[in-house]
A and B are shown apart, each in its own frame.
Chain A
Amino acid sequence: MSWDDKLIKQAKKIVKLYPQKRSALGPLLHLAQSKDGYISDDSVSVISELVGITEVQVKSVSTFYSMYKQEPTGKYLLSVCKSISCEINNSNSIIDVVKDFTGLSNNETDEEGLFTFEAVECIGACGGAPAIQVNYETVEGLSTENTLNLCEWLKNETPDLVVADELQNKFGGTKSFDWAISDNSGTTGSVPGFQTLNTTKDKK
């Protein structure tokens, strides 16, 4: 097994949360992604042993869900929503800005490994349409101008930790609802922020 001891220990802890081992498959795939940024063949093999199913079974699940990436993603995963509320609020123009800036088509990653772009289905930010997620941190009420500013800022500042509230304050507009609570926690890497996956940190 090529996961280090610390990661294996963490994985075993996750397995123990569930009445049946296989339930841990989803969280372990997220854990694998937090290590590599995608689901590597090596992780498939490690997970199949941890959960007690075949590698093909692991792959069949990992390819079903859109958040498990089969290829390495960039440092910043830019997911622009294109579902109905965003669509009728000009999400197309936001998509164009991101495409132009990054030079990427849907589901592509640039050579430097900085950006991955995807046009995605509803992210639950309909009241603040159009919206984007950067590493699953939501920014609502975008304008084309602020979208460009956001991309440039990411490229220049390259923060390791992406914090929704920080991005929203800098580049966002109308929100789906009052976020109220000031929050400095965010995600590291293109994996949803979650303590058990060690992808959540507080910004100092």
Chain B
Amino acid sequence: MKETILLTKHMRENPEDSHLIESYEKSNGYTTAKKTLLGSSPEKVLEEIKASNIRGRGGAGFPTGVKWGFLAENEERYLVINADESEPGTFKDRILLERDPHQLIEGIIITCFAANIKNAFIYIRGEYAKPARRVQSAVEQAYQNGYLGKNIFGSEMDLDLVVHLGAGAYICGEETALLNSLEGRRGEPRLKPPYFPAVKGLYMKPTLVNNVETISSVPWIIENTGEEYNKLGVEGSTGTRIFSLSGHVNVPGNYEIEMGSTFGDFVETLGGGIRNNKKVKAYIPGGASAPWFRGDQLNIKMTIDDVANNNSMLGSGAVVMMDQDTNLVNAAKSIVSFFAHESCGQCTPCREGTTWLEMILDRVASGRGRTSDLELLLDICDNISPGLSWPPKMTTICPLGPSAVSPITSLMKDFREEVESMIPTKVLL
């Protein structure tokens, strides 16, 4: 398999200075936005996005055109770019922010034109100091060139864009928590309904919240038409997607590919295989929230639907490979401890449950586990996500709690013996 280069084209062809506006313009940057604002209509742009069948790249995979179509009528509407990339295993927005911030800004301009929005925000996680610097400089350059501000490209459109720095809270990647955070509140998710961002979003006004990669794809779609984009990939997972590959692979990195090949092919050809010719014991197909696949399931196809049909999710496109020597209890503990740390504390099952899961796993991992611990873990999981089914049922406002359940159900379903072998009483008996 080979990469298909759309989103990462400019940065690859101009490795030295792809972040600068002069360089972006040399690659015909901003011409699509200009043409659109001066000669197209919001309806036409929305049609193209719908025809492309692009689905959101943040994790939930919601069709972008449908999302835009939901945006309620109002004088005041907002666009918020979710650049709070924090899902363990994911680093694909980081490259788009660092190396091609103008592509994102051009996408924002076109999106705001389509949705009649005058105020946009980029919410970048606080730990992304360098990416945030690059984006901030790019925004300033765009203002200087008249691509942001009043009468963009001499059209009647005004647009203000503010770069907003988060402060270290994974939960702010959840769109309603992000909006609370942007309003200067604790990053606690809101109940849906009634607080669907498209109706009651930022400041209770209709708001589009889109991922960095999704909006960075907009210029290509508008320039080349939605129909062309729809031809790439497979039905239900069109276009290209940047996958972040990490773990025990020879060549970790970001790879832009059309969806539809298998995980095995991906890891062998682009990832250079597993280090030291070892075998895969388990892998995570879409970020820390996703249930794991076993090493003998590498023939699953990398599409949103194929992964979902196998009871996991493609999520944020973060693929983490764990080789045969990985201590999976420690791996699960790392993930559960992540969610325990990042729980916002609103909902009891998540706040208390994730903490107990972490403590029990720690007990098991350090050889102090009890035979009753396995059932206890599953019982707590069941309180967070009743029935332990996929997609998860929830006793919580947002999916963070159920995400902590994923690694544990994966362990218990496919690697129960490994967990049992770590319980000392079994050996003593």
Contacts and interface: CB of A to CB of B under 8 A. Distances in A.
B246 interface: yes
A182 to B, nearest CB: 7
Which of B85, B132, B246 counts the most A-chain CB atoms under 10 A from its CB? B246
Contacts of B149: none
Given A83-B288, A164-B130, A67 B168 contact: yes
A203 B253 CA distance: 28
A62 to B, nearest CB: 9
B130 A193 contact: yes
Interface residues of A, number: 62
B320 A65 contact: no
Contacts of A200: 133
Which of B94, B126, B129, B330 counts the most A-chain CB atoms under 10 A from its CB? B129
B18 A185 contact: no
B254 A127 contact: yes
Given A27-B164, A177-B95, A124 B90 contact: yes
B126 A84 contact: no
Contacts, number: 197
Given A64-B186, A88-B326, A121-B342, A177 B253 contact: yes
Contacts of B182: 23, 26
A85 interface: yes
A100 interface: no
Contacts of A83: 88, 288, 334-335, 338
Contact of B99 (A127, A133, A180): A180
Contacts of B301: none
B165 A194 contact: yes
A192 B163 CA distance: 13
B187 to A, nearest CB: 6
B129 A67 contact: no
Main secondary structure of the interface of A (DSSP, over half): loop
A181 interface: yes
B397 to A, nearest CB: 16
A177 B15 CA distance: 12
A138 B288 CA distance: 21
Interface in B102-151: 119, 125-130, 132-133, 136-137, 140
B137 to A, nearest CB: 8
Given A83-B88, A88-B248, A23 B132 contact: no
A195 B209 CA distance: 25
A82 B87 CA distance: 13
A30 B167 contact: yes
Contacts of A129: 246, 252
Contact of A125 (B91, B137, B247): B91
A117 interface: no
Contacts of A177: 91, 94-95, 253-254
Given A51-B184, A181-B17, A192-B127, A65 B168 contact: yes
A162 to B, nearest CB: 10
Given A126-B320, A164-B130, A180 B15 contact: yes
A157 interface: no
Contact of B16 (A24, A82, A180, A194): A180
Contacts of B18: 180-181
A176 B168 contact: no
A20 interface: yes
A24 B326 CA distance: 45
B413 interface: no
Given A85-B246, A127-B246, A187-B129, A121 B136 contact: no
Contacts of B244: 126-127, 176
A125 B284 CA distance: 16
Interface in B316-360: 318, 320, 322, 326, 330-331, 334-335, 338, 341-342, 344
Nearest to A58: B184
A18 B162 contact: yes
A128 interface: yes
A121 B167 CA distance: 13
Nearest to A47: B184
A4 B185 CA distance: 26
A180 B94 CA distance: 13
Which of B90, B127, B137, B247 counts the most A-chain CB atoms under 10 A from its CB? B127
A17 B344 CA distance: 27
Interface string A154-195: 000000000010000000001011111111010100001111
B169 A20 contact: no
A134 B320 CA distance: 25
Nearest to B205: A19
B65 interface: no
Contacts of A79: 127
B183 interface: yes
Contact of A25 (B184, B252, B318): B184
A87 interface: yes
A61 B185 contact: yes
B267 interface: no
Contact of B184 (A22, A164, A187): A22
Given A176-B254, A180-B18, 5 more contacts: A51-B184, A88-B247, A121-B86, A121-B88, A126-B88
13 contacts: A22-B184, A84-B89, A87-B330, A88-B247, A89-B248, A121-B170, A122-B288, A123-B127, A128-B252, A176-B94, A181-B99, A192-B129, A194-B132
